[in-house]
Amino acid sequence: MELFFQLTLAGLAIGSIYACVALAVVMIYQATDHFNFAQGEMAMFSTFIAFTFLTFGAPVWLAAVGAIAISFVAGLIIERVVIKPVENAPILNQIIVFIGMLMILNNMAGWIWEFTIKPFPSLFPSDWGVQSELIGPHHMGVIGLTLIVLFAIFLFFRFTRVGLAMRAAAANPDSARLVGVSVSWMLALGWGLAAGVGAIGGILVAPIVYLDPNMMSGVLLYAFAGALLGGVSSPFGAVMGGMIVGVLENWIGHPALSELLGFKMNELKLTFALMVIVIVLLFKPAGLFGRVVVKRV
Amino acid sequence: MAFLEVKGLKAFYRQVEALHGIDFEIEEGSIMTVLGANGAGKTTTLRAICRMVRTEGSIVFDGKDLTGMPTEKVVQLGIAHVPEGRGTFVRQSVEENLQLGAYTRNDKKEIEADIERVYEYFPRLRERQKQQAGTLSGGEQQMLAIGRALMLRPRLMLLDEPSFGLAPLIVKEIYEIMKRIREQEGTTMLLVEQNANIALNLADHAYLLETGDVVMSGESHVIRDDENVRKSYLGY
Ligand SMILES: Nc1ncnc2c1ncn2[C@@H]1O[C@H](COP(=O)(O)OP(=O)(O)O)[C@@H](O)[C@H]1O
Ligand SMILES: [Mg+2]
């Protein structure tokens, strides 16, 4: 039983990180109908920026906040400079832009910081919080921080004027323009926010998977899976989906299960997670929490 | 110079010319209607004013040339557009739709008061204020679209076929409220309609549009009494 709780809590921690990245992906998807394949590499790059601050002697929290702020601005700039010019281009061109960005960021990180694996410190000191057998301090901090961040984002979208305008611009750009919303700036702002949230995901996952230019490839896959599972039309769904995928992954990946079943489940955990998702989508195409829009003419 | 003055207006969808150089004007405080069959270019005319379609010619509102401005800027000048199809934000609540109408304003207290005022014009919206706007009936969504436009405190209101697809009783109700709005707010309106009868009752002036050209214009009662108009637009 204790093992079960341990696995679940650790799964929730890694799932919170998937949730951050999934939310970033869904925020952009809602506004543009595109998956940003470069979201993971953007987060990786952000984490390297935090790493650079650390090498200059900055305390870890300051390095994190600085990197997140820079990521926000960089997200804005990427939208303005790279994405906006291809806004009306054919879909294939846009996908190529995303893939290109992924490769450029990956190579640039390798070139600047090298492909060697580097340790990255946790934001949460080891004597932090309640000492427990069930969950380590970093995992506990991850869950706590992501819950706070996700809740803050929820409040922003739900209760602020700009949050409402961003939702309106994503859902109905023509009408949004007609009430005076600058749709194009809302898109840029969405990219900035997504980059910031992604950066948080990167900084939180780096102490677990270590820092290197390829550290986000697995995370992005699981985050996509989470987003699809929860429903790409629902930010809340994406967050829940990310959490679920994290927990599933941890359950399935544990050696005890492999032993029980008599074959190496651990190596199949990604396959299995994706299978679960395919099955769910077969029965609920909009995802578990995807909203079907009620519309009357 | 008139409040809104349009000269030699051409509009294009890619290479296709949908308006062939039309002229019209509106005096402040008056209601003008543009009548025409389906495809005549009514919607395009309104889109041209709001800068949602490529144009040539001049559009001058209150002394300012609109042709170089983005849509958001036109809205900031006080031009509210009740678009074809009503433009409802379907996933947002009725109240959020109204708040969006006031997006360019900063006077929070006044905005609250104006939401109240919209509910006085449209009591049905008050009953549904927390409801997802996509669940409203067609008539209610039309009311919401007009309410959203009012939230701008518009100096000029553009209305695209508010009667479209609605039962005659609802149309009558909506037009009566538009009349009250005109009396109480003095809002200048540019009303586009296929339903000539009801539009001519409300408007002071009318223009007839046929495949991108103005073919006739004048005071509403003159247009209404015209033999040809009666036959082709009013059906009696
Ligand atoms: N998005 C569009 N793309 C291409 N042509 C269009 C578009 N919208 C309207 N048109 C054309 O422009 C002309 C005028 O259309 P519109 O202004 O919508 O007419 P109305 O509102 O009077 O029914 C029509 O010939 C129509 O086919
Ligand atoms: Mg039309």
Tens of pLDDT, residues A48-101: 999 999 999 999 999 999 999 999 999 999 999 999 999 888 889 999 999 999
Q: Kindly report the average pLDDT of chain B as a whole number.
A: 95
Residue A296 has a pLDDT of 46
Model confidence at B40, pLDDT cuts 50, 70, 90, reads very high
Q: How far apart are the CA of B212 and the nearest CA of chain A, in angstroms?
A: 23
Residue A267 has a pLDDT of 77
| CATH code for the domain of B124 | 3.40.50.300
Closest residue in B to A183 (Cα–Cα): B72
Query: Token digits for A91?
Result: 């879909």
Residue with the two structure tokens 């790279």: A82
Helix A161-171, helix A137-159: angle, nearest 10: 80
Residue with the two structure tokens 């899976």: A225
The CA–CA distances, whole Å, from B108 to A47, A98, B185 equal 40, 40, 20
Q: Which residue among B13, B15, B22, B46 is best mutated to probe the pocket of ligand 1, counting the most ligand atoms within 8 A of its Cβ?
A: B13
pLDDT tens sequence across B88-113: 999 999 999 999 999 999 999 999 99
Please give the tally of structural domains in chain B. Answer: 1
Instruction: Tell me the sheet residues that pair with B209.
Output: B214
Closest residue in A to B164 (Cα–Cα): A297
Which ligand is nearest the CA of B16, by number?
Answer: 1
Residue A291 has a pLDDT of 66
CA angle B107, B109, B113 (to 5 degrees): 115
Query: Token digits for B42?
Result: 């009514």
A241: Cβ contacts below 8 Å, ≥ 6 apart: A19, A22, A225, A226, A227, A228, A229, A230, A231, A287, A288, A289
Residue B235 has a pLDDT of 66
Residue B202 pLDDT > 60:
yes
Check: CB of residue B9 under 8 Å from CB of residue B61: no
Provide the residue range defining the domain that includes B182. Answer: 4-234
Amino acid at A92: L
Could you count the other beta carbons within 10 Å of the beta carbon of residue A182?
18
Q: Indicate whether residue B39 lines ligand 1 (CB < 6 A).
A: yes
CA angle A79, A81, A83 (to 5 degrees): 45
Q: How far apart are the CA of B81 and the nearest CA of chain A, in angstroms?
A: 6
Phi-psi region of B27 (alpha: psi -120 to 50; beta: other; left: phi over 0): beta
Q: Indicate whether residue B18 lines ligand 1 (CB < 6 A).
A: yes
Residue A295 has a pLDDT of 45
Percent above pLDDT 70 for chain A: 97
Burial B59-93 (b: 16+ CB within 10 A, else e): bbbbeeebeebebbbbbebbbbbbbbebbbbbbbb
Which ligand is nearest the CA of B42, by number?
Answer: 1
Residue A279 has a pLDDT of 86
Residue closest to B165 by CA, chosen among B194, B185, B144, B145: B194
Residue A297 has a pLDDT of 43
- Spans in chain A with pLDDT lower than 70: 129, 291-297
Residue B236 has a pLDDT of 61
Q: Which of A90-99, A187-196, B11-20, B130-139 has the lowest mean pLDDT?
A: A90-99
Check: CB of residue A231 under 8 Å from CB of residue A71: no
